[in-house]
Chain A
Amino acid sequence: MSAPRTGRAPWAGLILAAALVAAAVPAAAGPIRIGMVPDAGATQVSVEEKAPLRAYLEKAIGEPVELVIPTSYNATVEGLGNASLDIAYLGGLTYVKAHARYGVVPLVQREEDQQFHSLFITPADAPIRSLADLRGKRFAFGDINSTSGHMFPYLAMSKAGVDPEKDLSYRYTGSHAATVKAVEAGAVDAGATDETVFREMTRDGKADPAKLRVFYTTPAFVDYVWVARKGLDPGVRAAIAKAFTALASGHGDDDKILAILRGKRFVPAGDAEYDQVRVIAGRLGLL
């Protein structure tokens, strides 16, 4: 067994590679990276569907924009923390966490986010009529960090005297869309979901409205918000906020963007709105 002579070249190459990789310093300035909520699946196609939003924002702030759909809220918040995301769309609960951990700045939200509701849905022919009927059933929450897909539905069930830990078996589907589809497919007996996602899916034919029935709507709470990471240039921050608040329904192009964002009008958002979420999340052991 002698050394194969041909083998030396890769070895030299590998040393060179190691040295080059160690020395490689990537270029710092990139596009503004915007994290979306994975509420309808983080697929390439769904990124493509959001292309008009990207074009609109690029024009509005005069910088290249990249839309990113992380696979979970946790990844989104950590992305804001380590600056791999500049702007992101968060739920109420994740905003509270991201604010506490990384000091993210609230920018804007949809008008209805200030008076938001979760829907409890079940197959149309199922015998479930009230929260109490959920006992012994299979139930779907969305993402564990979701305000409308987990936290407030959980609270509503507790208030109705149903203990999700003891009275039923539940699981997290990871997204609102998955919850709707899981209920429709019969993989679970009922689920809790975001009202705007449910309306959009039944309107666009992504879920069959004849097969699903809403049997409970939660009281109103404050939910989604667009935020900027702490260190982001205030100029960019302001430009983004302005781009959102400038959207007006009734203008052809704006309507397309608003449809993607499932909203009618954007208003400035503030941290104080989330005090109620903070209190309840603390009580449910989510903070």
Chain B
Amino acid sequence: MAPPLLRVHRLEVRPPGAATSICRDVSFDLAGGERVALVGPSGAGKTTLLRALNGSVAALSGRIDLAGETVNPSATGALRGLRRRIAVIPQKHDLVEPLRVYHNVMAGALGRWSDAHALRFLFWPLAAELGEAQAALERVGLGDKLRARAGTLSGGQQQRVAIARALVQRPLLLLADEPVASLDPRLAHQALQLLCRLAEDDGIAVICSLHQPDLARQYFPRTIEMEAGRLVGDRTRDARPQTVPAAPAMRQERAARLA
């Protein structure tokens, strides 16, 4: 059997300045393309775990393997290599508002671009690059916003730009930290629906922290539950649905686009 995409083994994390460890003895495996919801009360260590996975905080002990390689974030080059393969969608909007939408979307490509390439694109984007940004934006339903200033978009639109940035990054794994916390229920459904469908289309594995168990059940075949820094549950639904259920509003939108 092929090794799992991600293997977390007895991970203990203590962020700088913290008196005690926030994550303790965390172990789990994740297969390529698998979607997992990470649930638990606030303060359970969900965010810290996600940050450890992306190398933002170093592990105190334990091991993380990604695609068969052990992650060692203390080496700078290795950290950049790791981050290139893991995309992050944050809780709050995090776009660089003074820049244009295509800058923000193509920021996803910075990990594979040289510095010279990055600087050139800032002032002189090529048609092919803009085409890539446009394609990603169309997948999140923002095809008309390519040249808009990021600061002029609504909160929901900004989040979709962040998803487009993650797509451009072409990651193996996508980490989403409470991506719907600041959205109303209708938009939350739309966002999760979009996220999961795109991940499925591109074969990207997803770990998404959520504090609404019903959303987790609805969109994620597998749920990992954390409490006080430990894993307390890991359930996979028996009958995995063939497709992601479409949110009601989304269905209408899609119908409208087809028409």
A and B touch in the complex (CB under 8 A): no
List residues of chain A with CB under 8 Å of any chain B CB.
Answer: none
